[in-house]
Amino acid sequence: MKLFAILFAALSLGASGAGAFYLAQIGADEIEAQTGGAVRNALSAAGQDWVTVEVDGMTVTLSGTSPSEAAKFRALDVAEAVVPQDRIASTITLTDAEVAVPEVLNLDILLAPDLVTLLGNTPQVFNDQIAELLGMFSRRVVDLTRPVETEPQADWEQTLTLLGSIAPQITTGRVMVTDGGIAIEAALADAELRQSLVAEIEAATPQGQQIDLSLSAPRMTLSPYPFDLSVSDGTFQLSTCAASTQSAARTIARQIAAATGLNDLECEVALGAPDDNWPQTVQIATELLTDLPDAALSIRDRVVQLSLESSAIDDRVDGLVARADARLPEGYSLLMNRVQAEEEPSPLVAAAPRGLTMTIAPGRISAVGAVTGEAGVETMQSYAETAFPGRSLTLDLIASDPGAAPSLADALALLDVMNTLDTGTIRIGEATIHITGTGEGPGLATRIEGALTSRLTGTRDLEIDIEEYEPVEVTEVEALPEVLKSPAECSAEITAAQQEDRILFAPSSASLDASSAGPLDEIARILATCPTVQVSIEGYTDSSGGEDMNRRISQLRADAVLDALLSRGVFLDRMSATGYGEASPIADNDTAEGREANRRIEFELSTSEPDVDPAADAPTQEEEDE
């Protein structure tokens, strides 16, 4: 009898343990299913349907074959918005085309009397030697190189040793290193120094490296590197032209003559060209100008600016500019300035922007305008990426002459101020610096003023309008009941928001205008109260231009709105973006007002809840019999 009791107790204990394990397993499975569903929905909304999601306990594994490196990083970013980064594992592979192309190795050293700038992709295994090279210069050095894992084919160690010996002796010039060649351009007034460097370079050039030397007496250095061409009533006028060599000058003259009919042109031969793609950039920009009405073209270093009347800008012009921008060599950008008719000079002259505007909002930073020098633009990019990790950066900057734009020191000082604000805008004009926004106080405005007083180099007046607030102690409160809205209610609110403040785009591009931040924030807030809706973002244009071009522009703009909502944390069951071009006009395309109304973004909302089959919940015959 005692033995039976012991066996019964043991069996009871085992059964209760197995039951507890079974219930725990059910709970774990439910959590895994919820986590996997949330990540899949976010990836689907972001258009990353190629990703496979598997959840095991607390670990979320992403797998699949990515069409590109950019798509891989986009998928990881979206997943990290749903679950913490340390819970994500990735086995994503790239397509053969992506894997097969290693990053190209190159080092570009720009030498000026008071500044040395290093650009390019350098072998990661030689990070220490790059650091030693930086220490060889007695001038200020800006290092914008990026270490990559590409295996070098040439002797980079001996190449870097050679550069450390000769580069500090060059006051003005340029050194370009590739995985197999070295090109040195320098203007040296001292003939003895030129002969000495030639002998040193020839003796120390690594085996297998091709050397291209161009040591000459000093030539003029232009910074920024310029080109100015305008057209008025069909008559072209070339104001400024520069080229790095006589051969490049002849090439540019032939290109302009073929496109405009201008002959006997002279381009000044001078140092300072941003790269070897300068003649190609001039050709593409000149061809664009021949397809436009009265307009002006100005190139400064790697920024092409096009100026023409606002009334002349339509979707046909947008399409021409977009195609020209796509043809520009890597590193170059195309901007368009709208000129009001009453302000139009004759002939038109493109004026370089003088101001700088910086904006901070939750999750993103933007800076638009000018800063002194090409190195200033590159330094701002590098500094912003370091100072604001994890935030979306939109930097649309151009280099300008000293005195015509904020100095790099002032721009960096004000970029530091951005880190003290929650939201806000800093505008640097010719005579004033105006800072507005919100931030945690008290005394924030006073602290900002004190910091800037000791750092700003100019004489601009400082205006600070900060809304300070006391830090709020967070206490646990009872959760409010969730308020959900129907698709019709959400749609009505979004329509009202757009009537009050439209979503607009920068001229000639699919980039959202800065003024669109407000309506997008409001639409994101509305959609947060509508978690059970499907959202279709629809882009439309007017009837100017061809149908294919209009459809492409409208698709790019609809995609930009979808990305903007995703960056604001809108992850619904399904979001899509479609460009319909000139279809479904809401106004007359024969008037300027009608065409503006037809260039629009619309939102189509519907329920995402599954259809319910009434028969599914009906009792079976057996259940009725019971």
- pLDDT per residue over 120-148, tens digit each? 888 888 888 888 888 888 888 888 888 88
Predicted pLDDT at 72: 82
Q: What distance in Å separates the CA atoms of residue 199 and residue 165, rounded to the nearest whole number?
A: 13
Predicted pLDDT at 98: 46
Q: What distance in Å separates the CA atoms of residue 517 and residue 605, rounded to the nearest whole number?
A: 21
The two tokens of residue 434 are: 């105006």
For 343: left if phi > 0, alpha if psi spans -120 to 50, otherwise beta; the answer is alpha
Residue 356 has what DSSP assignment?
E
Q: What distance in Å separates the CA atoms of residue 235 and residue 347, rounded to the nearest whole number?
A: 9
Burial of 551-589, coded b for 16+ CB within 10 Å and e otherwise, reads bbbbbbbbbbbbbbbbbbebbbbebebebbbbeebeeee
Residue 175 has what DSSP assignment?
E
Closest CA to 186 of 196, 267, 105: 196
Q: Which of 163-167, 227-231, 396-400 has the highest mean pLDDT?
A: 227-231
Tell me what the mean pLDDT of segment 448-456 comes to: 80
Predicted pLDDT at 489: 84
The two tokens of residue 555 are: 């698709």
Question: Angle between the 191-204 and 156-166 helix axes, to the nearest 10 degrees?
Answer: 170
Tell me what the mean pLDDT of segment 102-115 comes to: 82
Residue type, 582: E
Q: What distance in Å separates the CA atoms of residue 486 and residue 607, rounded to the nearest whole number?
A: 8
HSE (CB half, 13 Å, CA atoms) of 262? Answer: 20
Give residue-wise pLDDT tens across range 283-301. 999 998 888 878 888 898 8
Residue 439 or 256, more confident: 256
Closest CA to 320 of 280, 292, 300, 283: 292
Question: Per-residue pLDDT for 279 more than 90?
Answer: yes
DSSP string covering 226-274, please?
Answer: EEEEEEETTEEEEEEEEESSHHHHHHHHHHHHHHH---S---EE-B--S
The answer to whether residues 59 and 89 touch, using CB atoms and an 8 Å cutoff, is: yes
Alpha-carbon radius of gyration of the chain: 31
Question: Per-residue pLDDT for 486 more than 90?
Answer: no
* pTM, two decimal places: 0.29
Give residue-wise pLDDT tens across range 335-388. 877 776 544 443 433 344 467 888 787 777 878 788 877 777 887 887 777 777
Question: Per-residue pLDDT for 211 more than 80?
Answer: no
Predicted pLDDT at 442: 75
Closest CA to 285 of 276, 270, 295: 295
Closest CA to 394 of 569, 552, 564: 564
Instruction: For residue 40, give every residue at least 6 positions away whose Cβ sits within 8 Å of its Cβ, in sequence order, or none.
Output: 53
The answer to whether residues 154 and 208 touch, using CB atoms and an 8 Å cutoff, is: yes
DSSP string covering 563-595, please?
Answer: HHHHHTT---S-EEEEE-TT-S-SS-TTSHHHH
Going along the chain from its start, the domains and CATH numbers come out as 2-99 (3.30.1340.30), 106-216 (3.40.1520.20), 226-343 (3.40.1520.20), 356-469 (3.40.1520.20), 487-607 (3.30.1330.60)
Strand partners, 469: 440
Sign of CA dihedral 306, 311, 313, 316: negative
Q: Does residue 471 have a cis bond before it (omega within 30 degrees)?
A: no
Give me the phi and psi of 515, to 5 degrees please: -70, -15
Question: Per-residue pLDDT for 476 more than 50?
Answer: no
Tell me what the mean pLDDT of segment 96-105 comes to: 61
The pLDDT-based confidence of 513 (bands split at 50, 70, 90) is: confident
Average pLDDT, the chain: 77
Tell me what the mean pLDDT of segment 462-472 comes to: 75
Question: Per-residue pLDDT for 599 more than 80?
Answer: yes
